[in-house]
Amino acid sequence: MKSLRARHLFDYVMTAACGLAVVVALLPLASLLWLVISKGASGLSWSFFTALPTPVGEPGGGVGNAIIGTLYLVLLACLIGLPVGIGAGVFLAEARDTAFTRAVRFTAEVLSGVPSIVIGIVAYGLVVVPMKHFSALAGGLALSLLMIPSLTRTTEELVRLVPHSLREASLALGVPQWKTSLFIILRTALGGIVTAVLLAVARAAGETAPLLFTSLNNQYWNLKPGQPTASLTVQIFNYAISPYEDWHQKAWSAALVLLLVVGGLNLLARYMTRSRFRRAA
């Protein structure tokens, strides 16, 4: 009896300790969310989402160009990074274990831990220096370099979860290896890969440091890949370091917009993950 009571007491103590740890971890997050919402919600309006930034002292203005610029940069990053990251993951899962595949896997693991500012400097040296000016293309390349490692490793693990019997059945019917990988294996793991893509896009949309070295900023509308373009993260940075109170308010509002975008993508990824596991069950 004493042993059973001691176990129950230990269980209660550890449960309370875990609950306390959860509260301690959630308090900073909740305070941050409340701070951004309370300071940024008052500045939201239709013109804030559609108008261009105004000079200091002029009322109104918005971050419409930065919102469009962020979507444009993420689109460029997806066009560059998704084929490379997903293709590399499928290759690592389907190919035999060789020195080359081990080198690719090791490179992806190393790149996944490289700070984003270093990625920005690399993109600066690869694109900005040869072009002699900042551009949206350089920003898209920098963001794609951040997406590729995580996509590669996640895709590899998801493809490995596909039952080997599907491969054998497809190959037994005379389907070539590349068609089996593309239309059977990749299609089966597509739900998980889409979730990984959403998480990678959410991370890319919230990056600032790489864009300071690549796409820089633009006060006007721009959809040309060879020209500098605005982004929400850089716009927030510029507003936050300025000495003007009006720009500080716009920084809070822009931060709230970015928080909603990134949070929405993460919630969508979690929902798709749960839906996939429910269907599997």
CATH code, domain carrying 129? 1.10.3720.10
Is residue 1 one of the residues assigned to a domain?
no
Higher pLDDT, 49 or 58: 49
The mean per-residue pLDDT over the stretch 64-81 comes to 94
Mean pLDDT, the chain, whole residue set: 89
- Residue 123 and residue 211: Cα distance in Å, rounded? 9
In this prediction, residue 229 carries a pLDDT of 94
What percent of the chain has a predicted confidence (pLDDT) above 70?
Answer: 96
Residue 6 falls within a domain, yes or no? no
Q: Give the domain extent around 235.
A: 66-280
Tens of pLDDT along 7-53? 878 888 899 999 999 999 899 889 988 999 999 998 899 999 999 99
Residue 63 near residue 48 (C-beta atoms within 8 A): yes
Tell me the pTM. Answer: 0.88
Whether pLDDT at 250 is above 60: yes
DSSP, residue by residue, the chain: -HHHHHHHHHHHHHHHHHHHHHHHHHHHHHHHHHHHHHHHGGG--HHHHHSPPPPTT------HHHHHHHHHHHHHHHHHHHHHHHHHHHHHHHS---HHHHHHHHHHHHHHTS-HHHHHHHHIIIIIHHHTS--HHHHHHHHHHHHHHHHHHHHHHHHHTS-HHHHHHHHHTT--HHHIIIIIIHHHTHHHHHHHHHHHHHHHHT--HHHHHTT---SS----TTS----HHHHHHHHHTSS-HHHHHHHHHHHHHHHHHHHHHHHHHHHHHHHHHHHH-
Q: If pLDDT is split at 50, 70 and 90, which confidence band does 277 have?
A: low
> How confident is the model at residue 275, as a pLDDT?
62
Q: pLDDT-based confidence at 273, cuts 50/70/90?
A: low
Q: Is residue 226 part of a domain?
A: yes
Is residue 192, in this structure, part of any structural domain at all?
Answer: yes
What pLDDT band is residue 279 in, cutting at 50, 70 and 90? low
pLDDT computed for residue 166 by the predictor:
86
Q: Is residue 108 part of a domain?
A: yes
| pLDDT value, residue 215 | 94
pLDDT of residue 172: 86
Decide if 122 is inside a domain: yes
Q: Which of 98-107, 168-177, 231-240 has the lowest mean pLDDT?
A: 168-177
Q: Is residue 48 part of a domain?
A: no
Asked whether residue 81 is domain-assigned, the answer is yes
Domain tally for the chain?
A: 1
Q: Check whether 122 has a pLDDT greater than 60.
A: yes
Please tell me the predicted confidence (pLDDT) of residue 77.
95
